[in-house]
């Protein structure tokens, strides 16, 4: 799954480029969050399609992909939700994220008895 963005230069100058703390996952979500927070209008075009030829940033071991996705989601929560949530609510949310990803990793392992 990937995305394609068309942005006004003025918008990027205002909110900044991709945040490098999200090297693979959630950098697009973070950018959209910042654009929306700055008052820019965001449109989603589900009929648009992109053909990606070659490459493969996420040709990783499945477990590594899941861990990197989890770490990026936790970084996103730390950046955007930690300042807004009560510490107990934030702790509960991040514990739920860690648990869900642990179950996802565990589901990929075969039980050997």
Q: Give a yes or no: residue 26 inside a domain.
A: yes
Q: Give a yes or no: residue 106 inside a domain.
A: yes
Q: How long a stretch of residues is the chain?
A: 113
Q: Give a yes or no: residue 47 inside a domain.
A: no
Q: Give a yes or no: residue 52 inside a domain.
A: no
Buried b / exposed e over 15-28, threshold 16 CB at 10 Å, is: beeeeeebeebbbe
Regarding pTM above 0.95, the answer is no
- Count of domains in the chain? 1
Q: Give a yes or no: residue 70 inside a domain.
A: yes
Tokens 């071991």 -> residue? 61
Alpha carbons 1 and 25: distance in angstroms, whole number: 10
Q: Give a yes or no: residue 50 inside a domain.
A: no
Burial zone of 31 (CB within 10 Å; 0-12 exposed, 13-18 middle, 19+ buried): buried
Q: Give a yes or no: residue 75 inside a domain.
A: yes
Q: Give a yes or no: residue 102 inside a domain.
A: yes
The string of pLDDT tens digits covering residues 23-78 is 788 999 999 999 999 999 999 888 888 777 765 655 557 778 888 888 999 999 99
The string of pLDDT tens digits covering residues 84-100 is 889 999 999 999 988 98
Q: Which are the contacts of 75, defined by CB distance < 8 A and separation ≥ 6?
A: 21, 22, 26
**Which residue range(s) make up the domain with 88?**
9-42+60-111
């Amino acid at each position: 799954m990937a995305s394609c963005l068309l942005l006004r230069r003025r918008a990027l100058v205002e909110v900044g480029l991709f945040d490098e703390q999200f090297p693979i996952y959630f950098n697009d979500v973070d950018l959209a969050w910042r654009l929306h927070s700055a008052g820019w209008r965001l449109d989603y075009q589900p009929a648009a399609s992109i053909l990606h030829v070659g490459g493969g940033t996420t040709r990783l071991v499945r477990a590594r992909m899941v861990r990197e996705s989890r770490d990026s989601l936790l970084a996103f929560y730390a950046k955007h939700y930690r300042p807004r949530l009560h510490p107990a609510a934030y702790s509960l949310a991040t514990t739920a994220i860690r648990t869900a990803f642990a179950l996802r990793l565990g589901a990929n392992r075969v039980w050997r008895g």
